[in-house]
Amino acid sequence: MIILGYIVGIDGLRSVLDVGCGPGGLLELGRNLSLSVYQGIDTAEVAIASGAALPEIKRVGAERAIEAARLTLGGTAAGAAGPALDKESEMPHTAAHSAMSADMKKCSEECLSCSTTCTETVHHCLHMGGKHVEPAHLTSLIDCAEICQTSANVLLRGSSLHTETCRTCAAVCRACEASCRQIEGEEMKRCADACGRCAESCERMAAMAS
User: In the predicted model, is pLDDT for residue 40 greater than 80?
Assistant: no
CB 191 within 8 A of CB 106: no
The domain locations on the chain are 2-92, 97-207
Query: What pLDDT digit, counting tens, does each position of 50-108 carry?
Result: 555 555 545 555 455 555 545 544 444 334 344 444 444 444 444 444 446 888 999 99
Query: What pLDDT digit, counting tens, does each position of 144-161 carry?
Result: 999 999 999 999 888 889
Give the CA angle between residues 149, 25, 66 to the nearest 5°. 75
Q: Report the topology of domain 97-207.
A: Substrate Binding Domain Of Dnak; Chain:A; Domain 2 (1.20.1270)
Q: In angstroms, rounded to a whole number, what is the distance separating the alpha carbons of residues 152 and 156?
A: 6
Count CB neighbours of 41 within 10 A.
23
| pTM of the entire predicted model | 0.56
Q: Is 83 exposed, middle or buried (0-12, 13-18, 19+ CB in 10 A)?
A: exposed
Query: What pLDDT digit, counting tens, does each position of 161-183 carry?
Result: 999 999 999 999 999 999 999 99
Position 14 scores a pLDDT of 59
Of 41 and 50, the structure prediction assigns the larger pLDDT to: 41
Q: In angstroms, rounded to a whole number, what is the distance separating the alpha carbons of residues 48 and 52?
A: 6
SS3 15: strand
